[in-house]
Amino acid sequence: MNLAQLYPLTFTPVLKDYIWGGRSLEKLGRVLPPAGVVAESWEIAGHEDGTTTVANGPLAGLPLTAVHAQLGEALIGRRSAWAQARGKFPLLVKLLDASRPLSVQVHPDDDYALANEGNELGKTEMWVVLDARPGAEIILGVRPGTTPAAFRAALQAGQLEPYLHRLPVQTGDHVCVPAGSLHAIMGGLLIAEIQQNSNTTYRVYDWNRLGSDGRPRPLHVDRALDVINFAQTAPTLHPPQPLAAPAGVQRWELCRNRYFVTERVVLAEGAAYQGNLDGETLEIWGLLSGRVAINQVSLNAVQFALLPAALGPFTLTAATPATLLRTFVAPLTP
């Protein structure tokens, strides 16, 4: 494709039917199978476990992996050299319906994943709570005084709860989850997740329940204990950090790590956000409420669009009051 013809890409999601899912993704406009539960909708994904296909424009019908192979750095940007070197799209965006609690789990960092999981990278992620039942909570980190030995003994006894740090959450909250964080999304939550493009999860504890086959789901205790950050004791949620913005636009930084930065952007009706992608980084925009257009591509809630790194100037215009997530690859550090 001629780079002058680049445009914002939308995608057909890939649905996943893990046991903790439900039917609530229908509330976000996802078309679900007539029966059964759906746990995740992979919105923008280029992974061997799930690849979304382009839904609009000249590239419609192509998997994201094929678009990446065709466009390379023009799609993902110079800041993603760490992913490009391994043929990886850098990020993965999901919607999660946690009708029941997920397992207690941890993700490794890049070094551990590359040493133990082939060409897979680690996983740093973040969550935005789109809907929460009253009393909803997450698990993040461990309680003070937790040691690896005590943690292992509690796992062997099937009584890990006393070591888990719980946090109440509500609609609109965000949670930054670095690699090494012990965590679990509990029941009654609809979440948007932005993460490294990895599917490496070490399941530590699954509430002594059975999987869909009537057997306990596999655990990965030894590898989990290798990577859990036991110094992450009783963490708290951090407030959004205000950013400068033009009239009619409000911006807050939610999470920043070595892989990506995610902001919340709120536009008044008729307001416009101007950007220019010069090849440094792609941008992923997720519309949580309202209606917007990015150049000539219209979005309705809840929908995500991928803006190629070499797109050039773009204008995001709000047809109604709108709330969005903006994600881009973090600047390279020395």
CB 180 within 8 A of CB 235: no
Calculate Rg over the CA atoms of the chain.
20
Q: For residue 66, what are the CA distances in angstroms to 59, 72, 117, 160, 328?
A: 10, 10, 23, 43, 21
Rounded Cα gap, residues 183 and 185, in angstroms: 7
291 a catalytic residue:
no
Interior CA angle at 138 toward 136 and 140, to 5°?
Answer: 160
Six token digits for residue 56: 């609009």
CA nearest neighbour of 258 among 165, 121, 130, 141: 121
Question: Catalytic pick from 79, 203, 251, 264?
Answer: 203
CA nearest neighbour of 196 among 122, 304, 265, 102: 122
Rounded Cα gap, residues 127 and 158, in angstroms: 28
Rounded Cα gap, residues 78 and 82, in angstroms: 9
Looking at the chain, list the stretches that DSSP marks H as alpha helix, in order from N- to C-terminal side. Answer: 64-71, 73-76, 81-84, 110-116, 148-157, 221-227
User: Catalytic residue numbers?
Assistant: 203
